[in-house]
Structure 1
Amino acid sequence: MIAMADLFALLMPSENSAYSQQVDIFAVAFFVFILALAAPVFILIVFYAVKYRRGKPANRMHPPKRNLTLELSWSILPFLLMLGFFGWSTALFATRYFPPGDALNIDVVAKQWMWKFQHPEGQGEIDELHVPLDQPVKLTMASQDVIHSLYVPALRLKQDVVPGRYTIMWFTPDKTGTFWLTCAEFCGTDHSVMGGKIIVMTQGEYSRWLSGSSVDETLAAAGAVLFRSHGCSGCHGPSATVHAPKLEGIYASPVPLSDGTIVTADDQYLRDSILLPQKQIAAGYPSIMPTFQNVLSEEEVLKLVAYIKSTGNGSAADANP
């Protein structure tokens, strides 16, 4: 017979973050709550079906006695508990979209049928991701072709990767080891083999892994090369004569647009400005920038965004005038 511990291991995959533990606690608590609501009903159905299977004479001269307190209790208490579970689940869901400021930023490109990971120091990986223990990790993800979905059971996290936009997923691994990942969205012929693994290492092991991986330049340095080779510096450089927005320190800054609205220069805004320059035109500047769609790959766009981010952070500048 399967031991209870083995059965639980089959039903609940291993945990590798504080978030996954919170999700498991919520799932077990909600299961117990539903069981407590449903079990009495089914038990009484069986009990009365057996007890009154042959019928029984009943005096119907007087109406049955009512217990208003009991009737209100079994309606109001479950309703309040459901509201509590709703608030609990909403809080768990919301934490997925607010990564810490000190998170390690790793870019991810999904394509048929592989996962490409790019570390800020320049190291690239395919279907493997090395991350340090107890360090928040933020994944900025883009798809090169169709919709994919990054699913890591040990983290209890799944995030769609959609063409034309960036999506994020973050986690803080608290156990070393190797944990599998897969694509949870049907994406074509070889969808079933689009998997990989996350390898969690101690801080020292991760540092040695970084130093042992041969790279020519960091992600931002590679973006600087693209910035010059594609002529971006001719308009956006410090000595440019063309009337174009300066990009130094623009990241996380408010940007007024020609339609009167104000947006924040985040990763998505920078990406759209490169590939869809007519979508959001900065106020006071002519609409003359050409599109780089079908010119730059998703990896190259991520490198350009990394370079622009490396020139400075507008919110940091505001905090330290």
Structure 2
Amino acid sequence: MSWFTAFPATSSFMPIQATEIAKEVDLLYAFLLVSSLVSFVILVGGMTWFLIKFKRTSVDQKSAYITHNNFAEFLWSFIPLVIMVGIFYWGMVIFEKLRVPPENISTEIHVTAEQWAWTYRYANGKEFYSSANDPLIVPAGKATKIILTSKDVIHSFFVPAFRVKQDAIPGKYTQVWFEPKEPGNFIVFCTEYCGTKHSGMLITIKALPADEFAAWFHAEKKGAETPADKGKTLFAQKACASCHSLDGSRVVGPSMKGLFGSSRKFTDGSGAKADETYLRESILVSTAKIVEGYPPAMPVFQGQLSDEDVENLIEYIKTIK
């Protein structure tokens, strides 16, 4: 086996590699360990060799003098620079893969943290709780996106087998994605100290075969009102359609048609992607970012809508294509 081969799934040194990207993370980590070891041997070995070779053997012996060598100085600066730049680029590529979900996301789940439990809401309207020992059920072999937030303090969603970790922050949405290779059970830890029961804030992710997950998901959907359905009702109750059209036509405010995922340009010259965080801010504090070409006419809904109301509205806006 090559020194730079990623640690095998059976190794006790690292958790199992339950996703493809876990192999890439471990390979980079293995390279860092080996290259650090090689660097240590070269540095300490060289120092030891110089100490022995140029040791003064008598009181009147003159100190050895090594002449200046520009080429040697260039090499011992340039070679580490190339290696460091290569490591940086390698890490940047993996970081981008970890942070940016692919286009073929099959499942989105809203996960809310609080002291000292997790709540997960599916698009079919069902809610489950870690405090009730309910597992977080996902499909194996397909990408799942987790949308995170917190009700109180900062928590952290960490799945060692997937090599992913993301903070859950109050008043903000963050996201993490993963694609389990095989069915199985995987542990989620909270890795941000959040109080006296922090160590017990665990979830079990249960990855089901894709067909079993589809059967479970649609069976659970029966008779349930989805978050998007609730958002549609709320959209009508708050008279949002009086200022935001659903068909792309221009009224007082921007149309909801195709809004999610689009690029927005603001009156101050900045821009942003219309993701969950942007929509949350625009609903609660409408004057934070004013879309170019539209007046700041929308009322502020902060304090009038619950976190669940906002999530439901966002899920409804996602459906307006």
TM-score > 0.5 by shorter chain: yes
Helix, strand or coil at the partner of 2:102 = coil
* Residue 153 of structure 1, aligned match among 160, 175, 180: 160
Cα distance, 1:61–1:9 mapped onto 2, change above 3 Å: closer
Cα distance, 1:233–1:48 mapped onto 2, change above 3 Å: same
| CA distance in 2 between partners of 1:159 and 1:52 (Å) | 53
Tell me the equivalent position of 2:204.
Answer: 197
Cα distance, 1:287–1:180 mapped onto 2, change above 3 Å: same
Cα distance, 1:281–1:6 mapped onto 2, change above 3 Å: closer
Cα distance, 1:6–1:206 mapped onto 2, change above 3 Å: closer
Q: CA deviation at 1:300?
A: 2.4
Helix, strand or coil at the partner of 2:290 = coil
Pair 1:250-2:274 in alignment: no
Name the TM-score, length of structure 2 as normaliser: 0.82
Pair 1:164-2:166 in alignment: no
Tell me the equivalent position of 2:136.
Answer: 129
Cα distance, 1:302–1:62 mapped onto 2, change above 3 Å: closer
Tell me the equivalent position of 2:151.
Answer: 144
- The sequence identity of aligned pairs, in percent, is 34
| CA distance in 1 between partners of 2:39 and 2:78 (Å) | 13
Tell me the equivalent position of 2:183.
Answer: 176
Tell me the equivalent position of 1:315.
Answer: none
| CA distance in 2 between partners of 1:117 and 1:213 (Å) | 14
Give the superposed CA RMSD.
3.2
Deviations along 1:102-152, one digit per CA (max 9) or x if unpaired, are: 212222222222222222222322233111111111112122221111111
| CA distance in 2 between partners of 1:250 and 1:49 (Å) | 69
The AA in structure 2 aligned to 1:300 is: D
Q: CA deviation at 1:22?
A: 0.4
| CA distance in 1 between partners of 2:293 and 2:63 (Å) | 86
The AA in structure 1 aligned to 2:24 is: Q
The AA in structure 2 aligned to 1:301 is: V
Q: CA deviation at 1:263?
A: 3.9
Contact 2:123 2:226 in 1 (8 A): yes
Counterpart mapping for 1:79-98 below 5 A = 79-98=81-100
Helix, strand or coil at the partner of 1:10 = coil
Tell me the equivalent position of 1:224.
Answer: 232
Q: CA deviation at 1:291?
A: 2.6
Contact 2:145 2:176 in 1 (8 A): yes
Deviations along 1:163-216, one digit per CA (max 9) or x if unpaired, are: 222211111111211000011111223222211111111111111221332551
Q: CA deviation at 1:284?
A: 4.9
Contact 2:112 2:151 in 1 (8 A): yes
Contact 2:9 2:17 in 1 (8 A): no
Pair 1:277-2:281 in alignment: no
Tell me the equivalent position of 1:26.
Answer: 28
| CA distance in 2 between partners of 1:102 and 1:113 (Å) | 32
In the alignment, structure 1 segments of 5+ residues that lack a partner are 313-321
Q: CA deviation at 1:255?
A: 3.8
The AA in structure 1 aligned to 2:155 is: H
Contact 1:143 1:298 in 2 (8 A): no
The AA in structure 1 aligned to 2:121 is: Q
In the alignment, structure 2 segments of 5+ residues that lack a partner are 1-6
| CA distance in 1 between partners of 2:293 and 2:160 (Å) | 48
Tell me the equivalent position of 1:211.
Answer: 218
Helix, strand or coil at the partner of 2:216 = helix
Cα distance, 1:71–1:258 mapped onto 2, change above 3 Å: closer
Cα distance, 1:35–1:301 mapped onto 2, change above 3 Å: same
Tell me the equivalent position of 1:287.
Answer: 296
Name the TM-score, length of structure 1 as normaliser: 0.82
Cα distance, 1:30–1:269 mapped onto 2, change above 3 Å: same
Cα distance, 1:72–1:219 mapped onto 2, change above 3 Å: same
Cα distance, 1:83–1:44 mapped onto 2, change above 3 Å: same
Helix, strand or coil at the partner of 2:99 = coil
Tell me the equivalent position of 1:318.
Answer: none
The AA in structure 1 aligned to 2:204 is: K
| CA distance in 2 between partners of 1:268 and 1:161 (Å) | 12
Helix, strand or coil at the partner of 2:104 = coil
Tell me the equivalent position of 1:319.
Answer: none
| CA distance in 2 between partners of 1:17 and 1:6 (Å) | 13
The AA in structure 1 aligned to 2:291 is: A
The AA in structure 2 aligned to 1:194 is: M
